[in-house]
Amino acid sequence: MNQAISPPEKIAVLANPNIPEALAIADQVSEFFNDQGVEAQAGSLYDEALRHKVSNQTFDLLIALGGDGTMLRAGHLCAPVDIPLLGINVGHFGFLVEVKNADWPDILPKLLNGDFRYEERMMLFARCIREGKEDVDFDVINDVVVARGQYVRPIEVEAILNGAHIASYVADGLIAATATGSTAYALAAGGPILPPEVRNILLMPVAPHLSMDRAVVLSEGSAVCIRVRTQHEAVVSIDGQEPVHLANDDCVHVTAHKKSLHMVRFQDPYYFYRNLTAYMEHNPLISIKTDE
């Protein structure tokens, strides 16, 4: 990086306990920092005592060990309290993860020298309106997905922008995504890939039937209401979490969040484009079996 910034002084190193080697590596990372005189504490991402410390801003950096799913869960924990996030990849996919598992001993000393930068990722704020009443709020890193439930039937979804109707879809669902989420479900649905630093809301229908099948990119200041028209089940899911059931005429309001997710980056701002082709052509989730 061109300009050194203040290194962290207290670090939480939280691992996905469902990945066998993650906890062991977390202990090694914590030991490395402690040996350098930097206070670090390792543990499970689901440890309530450690999560409470993060929420109380005991730490000034959270290092998450896992894959992109782990990064999302860690981001939901640290973004609301303005704690930056750094990922070490011990999972499968790694659009969000900065450091490869084998590289952390060489990369992490840069933290102590202030040789890194913060990348600001826009988040969304979503509010469910069920039966005409404000019901539940969500912080969103990737996407808001309003979709059909267990019945394999499309639903009608109306998109209302700043109070004005812009489109209706008969589809499996409608995604409202951040730039971060543009490489997740929205990409699988055929949407465009947005650079990580842009602050836009991406609307992308899922399997539209005789409806508009193009993505719509909205400005940061947009307020979108996604209204459901259905006689059967519909749901809303935030960042792939447990769905919330919706009924006919229920809606989800989506706006830009006041908070952003700050991610630690050691690479230059063009890393995203260099890595993109590699991820697209060599998806680690795909295993090819051959007869030998």
Below-70 pLDDT ranges, the chain: 1-4, 93, 277-292
Segments making up each domain of the chain, as ranges = 10-116+266-281, 123-258
Of 68, 172, 239, 250, catalytic: 68
The pLDDT assigned to 50 comes to 97
The CATH code of the domain at 123-258 is: 2.60.200.30
The pLDDT assigned to 291 comes to 33
The pLDDT assigned to 2 comes to 47
Residues 174, 178, 179, 182, CA torsion sign: negative
CA distance 33 to 165: 54
Q: Which of 222, 221, 192, 220 is nearest to 204 (CA)?
A: 192
The CATH code of the domain at 10-116+266-281 is: 3.40.50.10330
Q: pTM for the complete prediction?
A: 0.91
The pLDDT assigned to 280 comes to 65
For the question of residue 68 being annotated catalytic, the response is yes
The pLDDT assigned to 39 comes to 97
Fill in the DSSP letter of residue 151: S
CB 83 within 8 A of CB 62: yes
pLDDT digit string, tens, across residues 94-149 = 778 999 999 999 999 999 999 999 999 999 999 999 988 888 999 999 999 999 98
R_g of the chain, CA atoms, integer Å: 20
77: three-class secondary structure by DSSP: helix
